[in-house]
Structure 1
Amino acid sequence: MAGAPLKLGSILSFCIVLYAVYYRKNDVGDVRLSPVKEHLLFLEKENRVGAGNLQPKVALGYGACHDLFVNATLLLDHRELKGTPQHFNEIATKEEFLKSFAYFFKHGAAAERFMSNSKLYDELIEQALELSDSRWAIGGNAPLMAKRFHMEGWKVLFAAKMSKKLKEYIPKEIQIVGDDGIEEVRDDIHMILEYKADEKFGALKAPRANRYIMHNDENNPLLSSLEKFGEHLPGFNPNLLVISGLQMMDNYPFKAEDGRDLRAERLDLVKKQILSQPMSTLAHFEMASYVDLELLKHLTTKVLPFVDSVGMNEQELTNLYSVLEHGEVSVVADSNPRIATALDQMRKTFLLIRRQNEQYKSSRKLTRIHVHTLAYQAIMTVKQSNWKRTEAAAAKASLTAHRYVCNSHVIALDKSKLLLDDSFSTTTDNDNTSRVFFEPSKPVSCWEEKIGDEEVEICVAPVLICTEAQLTAGAGDNISAAGLVLQVEK
């Protein structure tokens, strides 16, 4: 009996510790959220652009589509999945579709794939339309980014062949070029299979909310609006040129009868279009989900060496670095990487593209990289370059991530959480001198360092993650555009 009080006391102490840990976690979480929100909003408010006669101009290419949003686990039956999840560069059968979806679902990773089987694709579209919660929206990097720039007070020109119906999604103030209007265009359709965090697909469980995109495009892979876009660029004279939508060329059959590589020829025209712009027009390339190594190698020689800025998510960063450094595709990466890991990849990617700037004797040099992840925004800019307000841009990108995913302009703390710890390392080569302590009242951490021969500024902003995701597809486009909005000086 003498041991009973001791045993009871041990249990009581253990319970108190558990309660204290739970209370601290929730209390600290609540305490951190409010000052983070207030300071991010302060930075955004103090750094507005586009007022009066100072309206900046952006031109965006290429393409647009109809997005059909579908609940992934309602459309697909996990019982039809035979064998283990598997990656495919392109999809030809229902079995490959299920294995490919499951592969990315279990990682919570975004993916975009071309389905070569048009008959199967049309059947899946018909099945999706039978679901009560499926919905239509405009899709494509260029139109989604165009709408965000317009919302932020910019004058916008964008290139796409679109039907009259699809054009109704675009504000009338945005100038659309890309067709002559003689015949009605048949819009490409993208199927957006969405799922939420912790959702299950048979025995698999999604670690985060995300989407899997399937397409069977005819117009977008050809960059069919490119020539018309080029005709309008000189008169528009943009402050910023955005190149996007090139992932639609992934795995598309581009060989001509005489053996010519039509894709390479189209990308040569993209390069020519970038080079035709004056140096006062900054050029940004928006990365995406690529799996075709030949296409990626084309990008590393025909696009990346000639732009000032690159934007991407964590999966795309890993893939780009892998192609530049090792000549290999990285299909999937950590869906929530450590800040130190992402920053190291950004540094290496910066140096590799700078090497290409020299190799291809480019008059432009890479001076900006923006990486957006679930937990944080990281923006690197070269000091004394034409990019301004890096701290505010990171803050605005973070706020836009919450607003877009929650589908609300209001930053609701009861629908928010932070994944960042109280401190983080800026590199995996940690010598205990590279730690940054997170201050909720000043949440955007900025510092200067030297990469190669360049002095750069790096800013990392926490994301008030939306815990009740309403939208996933298009989040990256809106986040990237929001980051650019504050960085271009009119």
Structure 2
Amino acid sequence: MIVKSLFVLIISLVIGYVLYKKQLINDNEIEQEIIASWSESIVLPKKQFRKLLVGINSNVDLIVPGVELLLKLNITPGNDFNHDQLYTLDHLQETFFHFFRKGSAAERAFMDDKLFRKIVSEAEKLSNPKFYIGGNAALIGNKIAQVFPKVELHLVGPVGPKLQELLPSSITVPKISHIEKDEVHLIMEYQVEEEWGSHRAPVATRFITSYDESNSKATLIEAFFQYIQNYHPDLIILSGLHLLEGQPSEFFSQKLSLIQAELAKVPNAIPVHLELASMVNKKFVKEIADNIVSKVSSLGLNEQELTFLSHAAKGPHSEYFETIQGQPEIHKISDIILWVLRTYGHSKENPSYKLTRVHFHCLTYHIIGIHPSAWGNNPSAVGAGTRVAGIQACDVESPDPDLVTLKFPEKFKLFSGDKERSLNESKPIITWKKEGFHFALSPVLVCKQPLKTVGLGDSISATGLMFSEFVSNVNS
């Protein structure tokens, strides 16, 4: 009797385990299908970039739990206000709270050196502070060096002893980049549904603040462009303009004029990618749009940066940045990308303009719009960018369907006036043409429990670029 009961128990356990595993498979069937499709469809371009120059912002990121740090500083939720710059702990509370409630990543300059150093000192006392490579340029360079180790890559940006220690040995850091003391940026991360007082974060993301002399004044911008003359790269990646926002208007305009003049000297055969980051000064963003965007070949940005660019330059859906929460509507984002390409891109009306590519990325999907005469391999580029997002956020070597989830809308339109569509998981990369431009969209498999959110946008843009092929120079 005991043997029979034991046999029945074992059989029940086996059947239960099999059913449990079957349910697990069914639960992530969609994710498996998308991963399989990516594996089959994403290919490297025939002609790859081999010699890169990346600059100009680099620093050490000190990453801590944001809410834990605020509580240690005796800061609790209060007023919600989006300050352009931070001078006090109240400014920190109000601006952090503004983005915490929305679930949007943001970056603000701290204007009080002593207070910022005090905050950093408290952050270093938390249970598990982590030091990482920081700054868009250094992060982009680091990602490319990791994934494409045969690429020759030089980094021009402020590099102190700690950052030099963290960077891969394959990245060349010229003497002009060396500084005595590292610039530190404070990354305050929070998780989805994390509580701060009576409030919960709708998504996992971060808030960044820093007091940074070298990067905020773009001290190496002249050296960066001078370096091109002897190095002769086949791709230039420029980032860090957003850090100039903390400077007086006259200083900002002078630096932009210098950058504009130097970009005009770059040979047309060398594409220049500009990676934007969070900015809040409407006038400054308008200046970048009017004076810089048309002078680069490629542009990378997220939903906050794209919608604010449209607002500052009076583009379509110009008020969307004020109301956007969570997942941005695909057709509105697509409309704005098309407007950027039409307004600042190369065309018969503007033959001297260089912009031919826009790479948009957000938590749940990415879109790349291109001038088809200048860029190729676009579907693979957008797919590779979305694939790496989940890999890096989950801190794994390859996509794991158990760790990610699809958060793509059930119904969507690709652009205003389009028919309503549904995603075909077996063919997740969607392509279309509009007014002579080619577009590709891919959903992101979002990491359920992200381990690191900093640098995702930079890794996405870096990966997208390395899977893109610069096929011709439309300006020649």
Q: Which residue of 2 aligns with 1:192?
A: 187
Q: CA deviation at 1:230?
A: 2.3
Question: Which 4+ residue blocks in structure 1 deviate beyond 6 angstroms?
Answer: 25-28, 326-329
Q: CA deviation at 1:173?
A: 2.1
Counterpart-to-counterpart distance in 1, 2:244 and 2:291: 14
Q: CA deviation at 1:353?
A: 2.2
Q: CA deviation at 1:48?
A: 5.9
- The equivalences for 1:365-376 within 5 A come to 365-376=354-365
Q: Which residue of 2 aligns with 1:471?
A: 452
Q: CA deviation at 1:64?
A: 0.8
Query: Which amino acid in the other structure matches residue 338 of structure 2?
Result: R
Q: CA deviation at 1:40?
A: 0.9
The counterpart of 2:259, out of the listed 253, 261, 270, is 270
Q: Secondary structure at the match of 1:167?
A: helix
The counterpart of 1:94, out of the listed 77, 89, 101, is 89
Query: Which amino acid in the other structure matches residue 41 of structure 1?
Result: S
Q: Which residue of 1 aligns with 2:327?
A: 336
Counterpart-to-counterpart distance in 2, 1:352 and 1:334: 26
Q: CA deviation at 1:129?
A: 0.6
> CA 1:100/1:280 → structure 2, altered by over 3 Å: closer, same or farther?
same
TM-score with structure 2 setting the length: 0.87
Q: Which residue of 1 aligns with 2:18?
A: none
Query: Which amino acid in the other structure matches residue 158 of structure 2?
Result: K
8 Å contact 2:136–2:239 — kept in the other structure? yes
Q: Which residue of 1 aligns with 2:433?
A: 448
Unaligned runs of 5+ in 2: 1-22, 472-476
- The equivalences for 1:339-354 within 5 A come to 339-354=330-345
Counterpart-to-counterpart distance in 1, 2:51 and 2:119: 40
Counterpart-to-counterpart distance in 1, 2:373 and 2:159: 40
Count of matched residue pairs = 444
2:34 is equivalent to residue 36 of structure 1:
yes
Counterpart-to-counterpart distance in 2, 1:180 and 1:414: 42
> CA 1:438/1:165 → structure 2, altered by over 3 Å: closer, same or farther?
same
Counterpart-to-counterpart distance in 1, 2:95 and 2:39: 40
Q: Which residue of 2 aligns with 1:20?
A: none
Q: Which residue of 1 aligns with 2:466?
A: 485
2:235 is equivalent to residue 240 of structure 1:
yes
- The equivalences for 1:220-235 within 5 A come to 220-235=215-230
The counterpart of 2:110, out of the listed 112, 115, 140, is 115
Q: CA deviation at 1:90?
A: 0.7
8 Å contact 1:177–1:229 — kept in the other structure? no
Which region of structure 1 is more displaced relative to structure 2, 221-230 or 196-205? 221-230
2:287 is equivalent to residue 298 of structure 1:
yes
8 Å contact 1:397–1:479 — kept in the other structure? yes
Q: Secondary structure at the match of 2:402?
A: helix
Please, what is the CA RMSD of the aligned residues? 2.5
List per-residue Cα deviations over 1:199-254 (Å, max 9, x = no partner). Answer: 11111111100000011111112211222222321222222211211111112246
8 Å contact 2:60–2:162 — kept in the other structure? no
Q: Secondary structure at the match of 1:424?
A: coil
List per-residue Cα deviations over 1:247-277 (Å, max 9, x = no partner). Answer: 11112246xxxxxx23222222212222111
2:411 is equivalent to residue 420 of structure 1:
no
Q: Which residue of 2 aligns with 1:179?
A: 176
Counterpart-to-counterpart distance in 1, 2:447 and 2:213: 35
8 Å contact 2:51–2:233 — kept in the other structure? yes
8 Å contact 2:271–2:470 — kept in the other structure? no
Q: Which residue of 1 aligns with 2:164?
A: 167
> CA 1:251/1:120 → structure 2, altered by over 3 Å: closer, same or farther?
same
8 Å contact 2:161–2:182 — kept in the other structure? no
Query: Which amino acid in the other structure matches residue 448 of structure 1?
Result: K
2:51 is equivalent to residue 57 of structure 1:
yes
Counterpart-to-counterpart distance in 2, 1:178 and 1:244: 20
Unaligned runs of 5+ in 1: 1-24, 255-260
8 Å contact 1:249–1:295 — kept in the other structure? no
Query: Which amino acid in the other structure matches residue 70 of structure 1?
Result: V
